[in-house]
């Protein structure tokens, strides 16, 4: 299978859960109240907006990195763009639910772990196994840095997918708990000569 077909497959896989859930939600609710639908946050869409960019971004980066032959500028752009999408894109789930603080915290956490992994990779590339005197350098700690950084990025991405799902449900729960009602009223004049009174009764639950 060619890298392009693989990337297209990853793109379809990354957006399928939200499409399927959206169709199910549409058939269940009938979209009878457009205003209510506009306000509601779909939990599966929030989770897909987190996991989808990660799968798609890392898939693009892998397809660019494992292509044989001379490294072209297009491959470099795909590699950098894919990694950037994989690291920053998952914050879209929390941005969708309106939780910008968590989006920023998770994004900075992934960048920090990615920096650890990248530092280990650069150190391994610039420090040979043996020096001029033939001394063997133990570089297992560099491998540990790369593994720890990569594991941290993966763990935060999975965590944010679950957290954005819960965040969407929490937003819906809070919005359902709020209500506002406006009731106009008129007190008509009586035979004693008093004037009519009109007003607006406001009641709500917050």
pLDDT tens for each residue of the chain, 206 residues long: 455 545 445 555 455 444 444 544 444 444 434 334 447 899 999 999 999 999 999 999 999 888 776 778 888 999 999 999 999 999 999 999 999 999 999 999 999 999 999 998 888 877 665 555 555 566 778 888 999 999 999 999 999 999 999 999 999 988 876 555 566 656 665 656 556 666 666 655 54
Please name the residue that has the structure tokens 């506002």. Answer: 180
Question: What is the number of domains present in the chain?
Answer: 1
- Residue 121: per-residue pLDDT: 87
What are 80-84's contacts with CB under 8 Å, separation 24+? Answer: 81/57, 82/56, 82/57, 82/58, 83/57, 83/58, 83/114, 84/57
Does residue 91 contact residue 62 with C-beta atoms inside 8 Å? no
* Amino acid 37: pLDDT: 42
Answer whether 0.75 is exceeded by the pTM.
no
Alpha helices in 89-139 (DSSP H): 92-97, 100-126
- Outline where DSSP puts E strands in 22-178: none
Which residue range(s) make up the domain with 113?
A: 3-205
Q: What is the pLDDT of residue 19?
A: 47
Residue 20: predicted pLDDT: 46
């Amino acid at each position: 299978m060619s890298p392009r077909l693989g990337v297209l497959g990853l793109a379809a896989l990354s957006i399928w859960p939200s499409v399927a859930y959206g169709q199910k939600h549409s058939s269940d609710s009938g979209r009878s109240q457009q205003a209510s639908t506009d306000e509601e946050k779909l939990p599966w869409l929030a989770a897909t907006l987190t996991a989808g960019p990660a799968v798609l971004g890392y898939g693009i980066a892998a397809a660019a990195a494992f292509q044989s032959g001379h490294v072209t500028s297009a491959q470099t752009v795909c590699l950098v763009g894919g990694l950037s999408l994989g690291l920053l894109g998952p914050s879209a789930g929390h941005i969708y639910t309106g939780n910008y603080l968590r989006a920023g915290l998770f994004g900075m956490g992934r960048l920090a772990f990615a920096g650890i992994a990248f530092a280990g990779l650069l150190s391994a590339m610039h420090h040979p196994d043996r020096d001029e005197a033939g001394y063997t350098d133990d570089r297992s700690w560099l491998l540990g840095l790369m593994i720890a950084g990569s594991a941290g990025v993966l763990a935060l991405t999975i965590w944010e997918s679950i957290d954005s799902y819960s965040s969407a449900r929490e937003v819906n729960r809070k919005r359902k708990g709020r209500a506002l009602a406006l009731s106009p009223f008129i007190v008509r004049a009586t035979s004693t000569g008093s004037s009519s009174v009109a007003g607006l009764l406001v009641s709500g639950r917050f």
